[in-house]
Structures are given as structure tokens and as C-alpha cells.
Structure 1
Amino acid sequence: MSKEQQALAPAEMLDELPMRPRQWLIVVLCLGILALDGYDVLSISFATPGMTAEWGLSKAALGVILPLELLGIAFGSIGLGPLADNDGRRRITLASLVVVTVGMLVAGLAPNVFILGAARVLTGVGVGGMLATATVTASGFCNAKNRAMAVVLVAGGYSLGIYLGATFLSPLLQAFDWRITFYLGAAMSALFFPLVYFFVPETVSFLSERRPEGALQEVQRIFRTLGHEEPASLGEKRAVHTEVISPLSLFKPGIAFVSTILILAYFGNIATYYYFVKWLPALTTEIGYTESQSAEILGMISLGGVVGSIGVSLASRAMSIKPLMIVVLLLSGLGVASFPLFTGSFAEMSVVGFGTGLCIFGAISGFFGLWAISFPPRLLGAGSGLVLGIGRGGAVLGPFIPGLLFTAGYSFQTVAIIMSLGSLIAGVIVIFLPRWSEVKEDLVAA
């Protein structure tokens, strides 16, 4: 390590140092944590037929149960994000894994729909906490060169969780009843607790800025574990870092504009996404395809999502994440809007579904990279948590609005165009998003 690097604060040193295998391991574990979110979304869908048969649930009852975890995710993201910035990302991640494990286990043991509903909300709270901390943690252990790529790759764990969940659950449900979906979720989240406990330390940026007792010794231990020469000090501490972080911190002068753009853009894109994946199986079945074919199309969309998440991650190394996101958001909207034009052929529908999934999942992953360059490190947990929490409101509206439109007599093509506007508008407003470095001086001065 050069003398110039030794003079930097620890977090700035990590920005310049090459990444070691232990840092990449942390990135992989954070990716796995995000995969639990994708599995959680998928699990309730796979459990629905068995739940309906066992408890005689109506469509109205299912309409209440299916989005309950989204309500919990909103509470968890908004509430636990600021706690992560104040009390530590590692602590909140571990607590969230415990909550998810308990929630999944209770859902599997639930004797009735009311207990199941409460368990789904509880699981969502834990997932929301993991969403608010996983990418922040990955970002904190990456150097500047690899940060955007790693964060987007971690966010791609969501689509990977959906794809792997579908792959493993299909044969399991032939041997067991619907409760296996939740037992498997509980086992996976329980498995991640010791992995995170032993291999994912607190972020260096948090220790350097909050400075709990023994912070320097802990930072030095982390550097030794990572394989880097340890820093001699924590660097200069700024008074601005002593404030208690809350959601209101994101709407102070200098950062409010960034927060507003990211909330609106993520909300719009997630609404388009949930329309596409929730309604597509029913719509394709309605126009004459079998349930098996509809499931294949959804599988192609998920596979496209895995490719898209990886592709956006790799592309972010060659170009800035902002223009990349503008492109994939606009292509997502165009794919959703044009999809009904290709439903006459299963092969064409598969290709368009794969391409649209590639873009729309890639965009969802890319938002995590946008947050990493748009929010200052001390607000990253609160910022990503708030955007995720409010954005998941789009997840509820995404399936809800098309129901009203179809009931009013609008065609598949018309509804597709209307619902594509979420991604299209998101792509336009991201054009006006400034980087954190462009507003840094205003915020510090405020």
C-alpha cells in the first residue's frame, strides 16, 4: 500500500485497493440474500393451488393474501433502512434473516388463513430489511472500479431466486404438499444466518463514520481478514455524520431531488413489472395456450431476467450505469407494450418474453446500482429502503389496475400499452438524475 493510500480514510482506501477473494465472497453472499426475496415472491404463487384446495379459498380471499408480503416488505424497507444506517448493516441483516426464518416456518405450520396472512406480513418485514442492507453491504466492500457491477450483480439475485425456486419447487410439490414451499424458504434463510455471521463483517464506512467503541481495532481486523494492509487511523470525522438518520433525512436540501426521482422511477418500473409477470399466465391461457405453455413463457421471462441482471452488471463496467438504465427502462416499456402483437406464435412469444424479461429484470437490478452512485454512503441504507418500500406500492398497483381496465372492457393490447408507461416514464425521468458527487457540496453545506 502506497503512502498516499495510507493517508486516506479506510473506506477511501477500499475504493482504490484491488478486490480480494474475501470481498468477492461477501458480494456472493449478499447476492444469495437477495435471492431469498425472489424465492419469497415465488413461494406464495406455488403454494396457492394447494392452499385453495385445503381451505376452500375464494379469489377474493386470494386477492388479499397474495400481496401481504409486499405490505411487510414496505414496512421493513422503510423502517429498517434507517436503523441499518444508525445501528449497523450487519446487525439488521442478521435480525432480518431470523425474522424471515420464523415467518416462513410459521407459514408452513399455519392451521388457517389468518395465521398464514400474519406470517406473510412478518416474512415481508424481514425481506424488506434484507433488501435495505444487502446491496449496501456489498457496495461497502467493493472498490470504485467494481462497485456498480457488483451491486447490480447482487440485485440480480432476485431473478436468480425466482428461477432456482421454480426449478426446485416443481419436483418437490409432486412429492409433498404446498407447505414444502415455506419449509424450504425457512431452511434457506436459516442457512444464511451462520454464513453472514462468520463471513460478513460490519461495513468499513459505517464503522468509520459512526465510530462505536473499538471501531479502529475492528476496521484493522477487517482489513487483515480481507488481505489488505491495515489503516493507521479512521481519518477525519465530520460533524454531519453524527445526525440520526431517518426518512426525513432524504428530503433535505441537496438530496430531496435525487430521492424523488428514484422513488418515482422505481415505482413506475415495478408497476410495469408486476403487471407483466402476474397477469401474463392468465392472459396467455385465455387466448388459447395451455397452462403448461403459459408456465414455459413465465420460465423464459425469468431466464431472460437472470441473463439481463448479469448483462447489466457486466455492462456497468464498460459504461456509466445511468445511460445504461435509461436504455433498459425504455426497452422494457417497449417490450411490454408490444408483447400482445406476438401472441399468435408460441415461438415468437417466447423470444419476446425472454427479451422483455432480460430488460425489465435488468432494470430492477440496475436500480440498486443507481442508488449506490446517487445516495451518499451514510444515507444509502435509508435511501434504498425508502425507495424499495414506496416502490413496492407499485407492486400492488401493477396487478390491481389491469383488473379494473379489463373489467371496464379494455383489450389486452390497450392494457399492455397503458401498463408499459411505468417503465417508459421511468426511463425518461432518470435522464434528470444527478450523481451524488454533483450534489455533495450542497448537502454538506446544508
Structure 2
Amino acid sequence: MSAPAKQLNVQEFLDSRPFAGFHWKILFLGLVVLILDGFDVVAMGFIAPALIADWKISRAALGPVLSMGLFGLAIGALTGGPLADRFGRRKVIIGAVIFFGVMSLASAWSPNIEVLSVLRFLTGLGLGASQPNAATLASEYAPKKHRSVMVTVIYCGFTLGAAGGGFLSSYLVPTHGWQSILVVGGMVPLLFAAVLFFVLPESAKFLAVKHEGRKALAKIINKIQPGTVDASTELTTAEREHAGKGAIRLIVSKPHTSVTLALWVGLFMNLMTVYFLNSWLPIIVRDNNFSLADAALVGAMMQVGGTLGNIVIGWEMDRFKAHKVMIATLFAALIFTIAISQLNVGLAGLISLVFLLGYCTNSTNTGWTAMAASYYPTEMRATGTSWMTGIGRFGAISGASIGAVLLSFKWNFGQLFLFLTAPIAIAIVAAYVQGRVRTNAAPVLRNATTH
């Protein structure tokens, strides 16, 4: 009688591994994808002055270009997740990187503002699809005790790419024109897509749930821990695939409905706050009798605080209840916002408070992604994360637009910051609901994966 085949639960295997070389590779690849995203998303802001001078257009004429790019990001996120849950994370990530690389390259030869607006929308589609799927893939390989920090560190790539775009623009644009930034933003992703093609693996959890590609799945597991799988090993998973039921329908069906809505509302409000500040903070500070240099410094400190916060919040969420970390961090953001609105602290005090506010608001942005990636089962994880990101992008658009409206009302410095307490407070409620409902639904979710 032949010996019975040994079984390996893929999900438990991946969750229990120590952080090793394979995980560093996934972290690095995801980080680079987000660096490229960050560079391309902010590219228009850096080349805007040169573009205005070259084409002899007004500042207002650039509005459609900037807004079309944000709409592209939203639509790209909404479509990229379902595609990844159907065809795999690897294919969508590589395809999205190639797509936004080609569109960015084409943007460099735009003959007018109308064509550039369309191309920036198309670039945004690729950018929007690549970001959440890179985070999803990383979360599916991350050991359970390092999952949140792996996702949030990857999102640090976005701010690194944005900062790099600023430095590179100051060097390239004066000598090679505004087109040079778009060329770099197109060529580098295309070259990196070739690297991804050869070294980026498909999600092992995705392969296990789909019951396909056993050879590829076995190869991946043996790379993580050599000698684990042989010809007699039966690869299993506690998670199941809902045949014939789309992932979009799944994330809004019970028991996921309340958590999904809480994640959507939370990120929407968070991004509204951040993009309000990203778009208008330097102008608000300048109008409060500070110099242009001071205004730029205050704006930069918000990004520095956010980068640090991205790393720390992931570490905290891996050690404590994720929703409690989010509530505490958002509550701190509420306190700092009120302090900025009410206290006359001078430049040094304002820099310190904005640093702390950026630490809280930017970190919770990535915290929502970490929460979504750890909550949804594999069959709907990319869709759940991407749809939350897409809905949140409309919050970003709203934040930039609302800022213009409030400034037209002649609101003063304190009133503008007090306004931000409303979306932050709503985000706190959303984090509370997400945590409470998730805790209550845990037995249902565990039962769903084993039947």
C-alpha cells in the first residue's frame, strides 16, 4: 500500500513563514512600482510652470489635465481589482505598468491641452490599477505578523517617487524641457515591466484558491522554503472560490457589507483631508502672512511626517488591534487640526504641528489599505482593496475642489482647518464601525472558509 499523500495548507504555510529573502524581493518590487506611480502621478504638478510658459496658456487651463488624471486613477482602481481577482495579480500589475509607461511616453508629444488631458486620463488608468494590486500581492505573501507593515512600507514608495520627481524636474526641465519628465516617466516603467515579467511571481494564495497552476505554486513554495513540496504533496487551502459570483458582488454582500461601506467612507474622508492639504496648504499658509519659502517648507514637512507615519503605523497595526490604532491616530489628527486652527504658534510651531498632522493623516491613508488587504478573503481581496482605493480617489478629487470653494468664501486660516475636523471625525466613526463589525463577523467568516 502506498503512503498517503501529505497535505500542505498554502494559506497557513504563507502566514507562518519568517520574513526572509523571498519577502524582501516582493517588498522591493512592490516599492518600486509605487515609486514609479508616485513619480508619474505628480509629474504634471512639477512641469506645470514650464508647460504654461511653453504653450502660453493660463493656470486655469491646466485644471482639466490635473482632474482627468485623478479621474483616471479612480477608474483604474475600480477596474484593476476585479481584473486581478479574475486573471491574477501578476498579469494586471505588469500590464498596468506597461500601460501607464506607454501613455506617459505618448504624453510627451502632446500637441495641445486637449490631447494631453486624454493621455493623462489614460495614464491614470494604469496608475490606478497598479497601486492597490501591488499592495494586495505583497499582503498575500507577507507573514501574518508582518502583513500591515509590509503594505504600509510599500506605500512609502509613492512619497519617495513624488519627492524624486521634484528633484529630477529641477535638473531636467530647465535644460531638456517639460517633455523630459514625461519621457522618464514612460521609459523607466517600461524597462521595469521587463524586470517584473521575469521575477514577479503570481500570488500563491490566488493560485491555491483558483486550483490552477500547481507546478507554479509548488515552485513558489519551494523558493520560500526549499524541499517543502514534492510530487506527492497535496496543496490545499481553507479559502474557497465562489463560482459564478463576481468579486464586486461579494464585497457588498453579507457578511462584508458593513465593513466594505466603512472602508469606503473612511478612505474617502481621509483622502479628502489629505488632498485638501496637499493642494491648498502652501496657499493657506502664504495667505496667513508667511513667505513663499516658509509656505513651501510647511508643505514639505507634511510629506516628511507622512513618510515616517506610513512605516510606524504598519508596525503598530501588526502588534495591536488595527482599528484601534487607526482610531487613536485619527483622533490625534483631530487634536492637531484644532490646535493649528486655534493657536498662534509662529513658524516653528506651525511646522511641528503640520509635521504631526501629516504623520497622522498620511499614515492612516495607507492604514485603510492594510486593513482592507488583511480583511478580505483571497477571492475578493484585490477587488475589495481596489474598489476602496477607487472610491477614496473621489474623496481626493472632492478635497481639491472643496478647497477652491472655501477659499472663494474668504474663510480665514482657523476656519479652513476647523472644516477638516468634520471629515476626520467621520473617518474615526468609520474605523470604529469597521473594527466592531469585523470582530462580530469573525465567526461567520471563519465558517465561510471551511464549508
Matched, 1:290 2:291: yes
1:440 counterpart (428, 440, 445): 445
The 2-side partners of 1:50 and 1:312 are apart by 38
The 1-side partners of 2:430 and 2:10 are apart by 35
Quote how far apart the aligned CAs of 1:402 are.
Answer: 2.4
SS state at 1:234 partner: strand
Matched, 1:124 2:129: no
Matched, 1:74 2:74: yes
The 1-side partners of 2:335 and 2:328 are apart by 11
The 1-side partners of 2:171 and 2:10 are apart by 48
Q: Structure 1: which amino acid aligns with 2:206?
A: F
Q: Structure 1: which amino acid aligns with 2:433?
A: F
Q: Is the 8 A contact 2:239 2:450 kept in 1?
A: no
Distance change in 2, residues 1:167/1:314 (3 Å)? farther
Distance change in 2, residues 1:292/1:438 (3 Å)? farther
Quote how far apart the aligned CAs of 1:327 are.
Answer: 1.5
* Structure 1 residue aligned with 2:391: 390
Matched, 1:224 2:225: no
1:183-198 alignment to 2 at 5 Å? 183-198=183-198
Q: Is the 8 A contact 1:253 1:442 kept in 2?
A: no
Q: Is the 8 A contact 2:105 2:182 kept in 1?
A: yes
1:357-380: CA deviation from partner (whole Å, max 9, x where unpaired): 111111111112111222122211
1:312-347: CA deviation from partner (whole Å, max 9, x where unpaired): 122233323221111122222333443345676222
| More displaced 10-residue stretch of structure 1: 264-273 or 71-80 | 71-80
| More displaced 10-residue stretch of structure 1: 143-152 or 89-98 | 143-152
Matched, 1:144 2:144: yes
The 2-side partners of 1:97 and 1:366 are apart by 24
The 1-side partners of 2:342 and 2:238 are apart by 58
The 1-side partners of 2:35 and 2:443 are apart by 33
The 2-side partners of 1:173 and 1:346 are apart by 31
Matched, 1:260 2:242: no
Quote how far apart the aligned CAs of 1:69 are.
Answer: 1.3
SS state at 1:166 partner: helix
* Structure 1 residue aligned with 2:325: 324
The alignment-based identity, stated in percent, is: 26
The 2-side partners of 1:45 and 1:332 are apart by 26
Q: Is the 8 A contact 1:333 1:421 kept in 2?
A: no
The 1-side partners of 2:189 and 2:263 are apart by 29
Quote how far apart the aligned CAs of 1:124 are.
Answer: 0.6
Quote how far apart the aligned CAs of 1:442 are.
Answer: 7.1
Distance change in 2, residues 1:17/1:180 (3 Å)? same
* Structure 2 residue aligned with 1:3: none
The 1-side partners of 2:228 and 2:362 are apart by 39
1:305-316 alignment to 2 at 5 Å? 305-316=306-317
1:25-73: CA deviation from partner (whole Å, max 9, x where unpaired): 1112112212223223321111111111122333432222212111111
Q: C-alpha root-mean-square deviation of aligned residues, in Å? A: 2.2
Matched, 1:409 2:414: no
1:392-419: CA deviation from partner (whole Å, max 9, x where unpaired): 0011110111222222232221122113
The 1-side partners of 2:286 and 2:371 are apart by 37
The 2-side partners of 1:299 and 1:367 are apart by 23
The 2-side partners of 1:191 and 1:300 are apart by 32
Q: Structure 2: which amino acid aligns with 1:230?
A: T
SS state at 2:108 partner: helix
Q: Is the 8 A contact 2:210 2:241 kept in 1?
A: no
SS state at 1:110 partner: coil
SS state at 2:154 partner: helix
* Structure 1 residue aligned with 2:155: 155
SS state at 2:235 partner: coil
TM-score by length of 1: 0.92
Q: Is the 8 A contact 1:36 1:189 kept in 2?
A: yes
| More displaced 10-residue stretch of structure 1: 272-281 or 343-352 | 343-352
Q: Structure 1: which amino acid aligns with 2:328?
A: V
* Structure 1 residue aligned with 2:56: 56
1:80-134: CA deviation from partner (whole Å, max 9, x where unpaired): 2111001100000010001110111112221211121111111110011112311
The 2-side partners of 1:405 and 1:238 are apart by 48
Structure 1 gaps, min length 5: 1-5
Quote how far apart the aligned CAs of 1:438 are.
Answer: 4.7
Q: Structure 1: which amino acid aligns with 2:324?
A: P
Distance change in 2, residues 1:266/1:89 (3 Å)? same
The 1-side partners of 2:172 and 2:425 are apart by 39
Q: Structure 2: which amino acid aligns with 1:324?
A: V
Quote how far apart the aligned CAs of 1:284 are.
Answer: 1.9
1:235-384 alignment to 2 at 5 Å? 235=236, 240-341=241-342, 345-384=346-385
The 1-side partners of 2:287 and 2:400 are apart by 16
Q: Is the 8 A contact 1:74 1:125 kept in 2?
A: yes
The 2-side partners of 1:322 and 1:32 are apart by 28
The 2-side partners of 1:284 and 1:28 are apart by 36
Q: Structure 2: which amino acid aligns with 1:165?
A: G
